[in-house]
Chain A
Amino acid sequence: MIPAQFDYLAPTTLEEAVAALAEHGDDAKVLAGGQSLLPVLRMRLNAPEMVIDLRRIDALRGIREDGEEIVVGAMTPHSVVAADPLMARHAALVPAAIEHLADAQVRHRGTFGGALAHADPAGDLGAPVLALGATFVAVGPTGRRTIPADDFFVDLFETALAEDEILTEVRIPRRTGWGAHYEKFVRVAHQWPIVAVAATVRAEGGTIAEARVGLTNMGSTPLRARGVEEALVGQPATEEAVRRAAALAADGANPPSDLNGDADYRRHLATVLTRRAVLSAAGA
């Protein structure tokens, strides 16, 4: 299908983009890589009057270090993020998740910020970014503000971004030397996960010193499995100990029931995938 008609702007500066969004408000959609937005427009699930394309704003692209954080520009394509040596070294959970995100063509075109702002609870980036304790930077007519990851995901396809704000970058605290693994369960190639678990672990001589665990598609937003994180601290990185902690993975989650599996099945999957992800992240 072909999208409904819309007007199109491709400003070259963030200021112009923010002004255009303020002017068109509710009638506008922001276009990043378009890998989620274009299917939505083509299926006519949304029909904005104005599309504001961020592709010409060079400042929104790239990955850099800033103090204790790695800063990912919102318009950086997934394939670039996945291949970046800074990410591999300081935020290995992100490339681990991107490796299995959609397919190669979508990873070339889709963007880090676009996927996060789309806030699909089955999207592969929300859980790792939440688990890493990232900060989201938004710019609007009144200036710039930061949003902690814990507050960013509000509900199904809904974030803390205001209607007149644009996500410009995501700041990820360094977790240098932490092991990382993204365990994704799918039935069909290049599909959204039925459930996935993002785990990153700092191990000290076979003992888990710190752990961060995020869950994909276990509720209307990505979730942190805090009970698992706390239970893992001080534990040996063994099958038995990790299994006990992973049993808490679905506590407080409210997973959907659909054709791929009912909520109970997803709760079970979360515990199994958490065990696998944590053990793999701990190098066990």
Chain B
Amino acid sequence: MTRISLTVDGAKVADDVEPRMLLVQYLRERLGKTGTVIGCDTSNCGACTVHLDGTSVKSCNVLAVQADGAEVTTIEGLARDGELHPVQESFRECHGLQCGFCTPGMIMQSVALLAENPRPSEEEIRLGLEGNLCRCTGYHNIVRAVQHAADSMDTPAAAPTGGLS
């Protein structure tokens, strides 16, 4: 057993874990954070995507011991004070899901994508979500949801000024 301590969705946690325990197992089985799902179990599908120290990772491809000392955000930590994150809101608004299984990973990767590139083109969205598979093939509305989120997160100060003054 190895002792780990980390922050998950803003709460400090510490546990003794087997070194072979995957981060996704730790989140689901120890912390009960079942919002993060296991899709393919081969690190292909991206359904288990979480943020580790501010960047997106596939939590089925990270050991819990590798997250020692880190800050983890899951889909369950995105909403603030009962308010959905703008990306969550946009997935609902644009019907960016069908069965919903890929949605936690899609949303976590979309949040990471928009943090790196706040105004992505359609192609950049599709490339940015390359590591997330939707077996319902509902990609068009997922892309629209990310575009909608980019618009809604765009503050007036950051928007380009239009026309001459």
Contacts and interface: CB of A to CB of B under 8 A. Distances in A.
Given A38-B61, A53-B66, A104-B130, A4 B20 contact: yes
A2 B43 contact: no
Contacts of A3: 20
Contacts of B44: 190
B66 A103 contact: no
A7 B113 contact: no
Contacts of A2: 20-22, 25
A162 interface: no
Interface stretch (A68-76, A105-113, A201-209): A105-113
B155 interface: no
Contacts of A5: 18-20
B63 interface: yes
Nearest to A83: B116
A106 B58 contact: yes
Contact of B46 (A4, A79, A105): A105
A137 B46 CA distance: 34
Interface residues of A, number: 29
Contacts of B42: 39
B130 A103 contact: yes
Interface in A4-24: 4-8, 10
A133 B125 CA distance: 34
Interface string B92-134: 0000000000000000010011000000000000001011100
B76 interface: no
A109 B62 contact: yes
Given A38-B43, A104-B128, A10 B65 contact: yes
Contact of A104 (B22, B61, B63, B112): B112
A214 B45 CA distance: 30
B122 to A, nearest CB: 15
A2 to B, nearest CB: 6
A51 B19 CA distance: 9
B135 to A, nearest CB: 13
Contact of B131 (A4, A8, A104): A104
B25 A7 contact: no
Contact of A189 (B43, B58, B113, B130): B130
B90 interface: no
Interface in A181-196: 189-190
Given A103-B46, A104-B128, A35 B61 contact: yes
B149 interface: no
Contacts of B21: 2
Contacts of B46: 103, 105
Given A1-B41, A103-B130, 11 more contacts: A5-B19, A7-B19, A8-B19, A8-B63, A10-B65, A31-B66, A38-B61, A53-B65, A102-B131, A105-B58, A105-B109
Interface of B: 2, 18-22, 25, 41-44, 46, 49, 52, 55-58, 61-63, 65-66, 68, 109, 112-113, 128, 130-132
Interface of A: 1-8, 10, 31, 34-35, 38-39, 41-42, 51, 53, 55, 79, 102-106, 108-109, 189-190
**6 pairs of A and B residues whose beta carbons are closest in the complex:** A103-B131, A8-B19, A108-B55, A3-B20, A190-B130, A103-B130
28 contacts: A3-B20, A4-B20, A5-B18, A5-B20, A6-B19, A8-B19, A8-B63, A10-B65, A34-B66, A35-B61, A38-B22, A39-B42, A41-B20, A79-B55, A103-B46, A103-B132, A104-B56, A104-B109, A104-B112, A105-B49, A105-B57, A105-B131, A106-B43, A108-B55, A109-B52, A109-B58, A109-B61, A190-B130
